[in-house]
Amino acid sequence: MEAPAMETSSYEETADWLRNHTDQHPKVAIICGSGLGGLADLLQNKKVFSYEEIPHFPTSTVPGHAGKLVFGSLQGRECVCMQGRFHFYEGYNIQTVAFPVRIFHLLGVETLIVTNACGGLNTSYSVGDIMLIKDHINMPGLAGQNPLVGSNHERFGVRFPCMSDAYDRDLIALAKQTAAEQGCDSFLQEGVYCMVAGPSYETIAECRALRMMGADTVGMSTVPEVVVARHCGMRVLGLSLVTNMTVTDYDSHEKANHEEVLQTTRHRAKDLEKLVSNLINKI
């Protein structure tokens, strides 16, 4: 039995509606994680749509996700930016979580930049570090919750897409260069992001297990969008902001909470926004 998925006509209708309501033709799309929607505020000549008014578009229900799709120019490049994303834990199926990425593909987007707030597993990381994602571990996907399950839409990509090159190495190198130029390479890391389903934070035993598997950070998003983007042939750059260190000691009294995530994000968001803005100028 196939998993429920969006009909191809739904993607077309959404893309057509957006084409009819904006004359911009973005080549770069940015998906903003928790508290990182300020990236969209940097755009000029903006055209803003709330998710509710876009046909077939889901809505975001999480604090720190404004729920707006913003078209505009950044450093002279036309971009589209999602102020807030969708999550599996909100009750959406995994195909719906990644729905906007196929819309971006139909609109002509070639490069996807994904950002997220995450928990640090690597003990050499610090709160406030920015991690370039070099690879991911898709825990829901390993359990069968992959956005490509079901009938393959040939117009988007092949049945069995490769994921060993999910994160574009040239874009990673460009991001490192840009970070060095703006003086934020001292808190720039490169590592593996692990997606879990959420919404509960991880137990101590789970954090220890993920660390043993090779994960440097953990979060509840990003991977479905990356999988669909690569299926569509897009180049992908992923950036994780470490907003808290995960608890791996049974004697610790620390507890992860979403307010801490948003507070840390506010502290470091400007650096991440500047990095993405300067990077887009070079893509």
Q: How many CB atoms lie within 10 A of CB 16?
A: 12
Query: Residue 251: is its pLDDT beyond 80?
Result: no
Q: How many CB atoms lie within 10 A of CB 162?
A: 9
Report the number of distinct structural domains present in the chain. Answer: 1
Would 2 be classed as within a structural domain?
Answer: no
Would 268 be classed as within a structural domain?
Answer: yes
pLDDT at 257: 65
Give the C-alpha separation, 269 to 245, whole Å.
17
pLDDT confidence bin for 1, thresholds 50/70/90: very low
Would 123 be classed as within a structural domain?
Answer: yes
Would 3 be classed as within a structural domain?
Answer: no
pLDDT at 216: 98
Identify whether 193 is a catalytic site residue: no
For residue 38, the domain's CATH number is 3.40.50.1580
pLDDT at 84: 87
Query: The domain containing residue 253 runs over which residues?
Result: 8-280
Quick one: what percent of the chain has pLDDT higher than 90?
A: 69
* Beta pairing partners, 28: 79, 111
Query: Residue 172: is its pLDDT beyond 50?
Result: yes
pLDDT confidence bin for 250, thresholds 50/70/90: confident
pLDDT at 62: 67
Identify whether 87 is a catalytic site residue: yes
Residue with tokens 């707006």, as numbered in its chain:
68
Query: Which H, E and C letters describe the chain, residue by residue?
Result: CCCCCCCHHHHHHHHHHHHHHCCCCCCEEEEECCCCCHHHHCCEEEEEEEHHHCCCCCCCCCCCCCCEEEEEEECCEEEEEEECCCCHHHCCCHHHHCHHHHHHHHCCCCEEEEEEEEEECCCCCCCCCEEEEEEEEEHHHHCCCCCCCCCCCCCCCCCCCCCCCCCCHHHHHHHHHHHHHHCCHHHEEEEEEEECCCCCCCCHHHHHHHHHHCCCEEECCCHHHHHHHHHCCCEEEEEEEEEEECCCCCCCCCCCCHHHHHHHHHHHHHHHHHHHHHHHCCC
- Nearest Cα to 133, choosing from 256, 265, 274, 238? 238
CB contact at 8 A, 256 and 246? yes
* pLDDT tens digits, 24-81: 999 999 999 876 778 888 899 999 999 999 999 998 776 655 789 999 998 889 999 9
pLDDT at 39: 83
Query: Residue 3: is its pLDDT beyond 70?
Result: no
Give the C-alpha separation, 64 to 176, whole Å.
27
Identify whether 221 is a catalytic site residue: yes
Contacts (Cβ under 8 Å, ≥6 apart) of 9 = none
- Report the mean per-residue pLDDT for the chain: 90
Would 125 be classed as within a structural domain?
Answer: yes
Identify whether 126 is a catalytic site residue: no
Would 172 be classed as within a structural domain?
Answer: yes
Would 92 be classed as within a structural domain?
Answer: yes
Look up residue 130 and give its two tokens.
């920015």
Marked catalytic residue, from 87, 105, 136, 231:
87
Identify whether 52 is a catalytic site residue: no
Marked catalytic residue, from 40, 65, 146, 167:
65
CB contact at 8 A, 280 and 183? no
Q: Span 239-243, mean pLDDT?
A: 93
Marked catalytic residue, from 56, 153, 258, 267:
258
* pLDDT tens digits, 254-268: 776 667 666 766 778
User: Which of 91-100, 124-133, 177-186, 241-250 is the least confident region?
Assistant: 241-250
Marked catalytic residue, from 221, 240, 277, 278:
221
pLDDT at 266: 72
Query: Which H, E and C letters describe 225-264, residue by residue?
Result: HHHHHHHCCCEEEEEEEEEEECCCCCCCCCCCCHHHHHHH
Query: Residue 101: is its pLDDT beyond 80?
Result: yes
Identify whether 124 is a catalytic site residue: no
Higher pLDDT, 187 or 38: 187
Quick one: what percent of the chain has pLDDT higher than 70?
A: 92
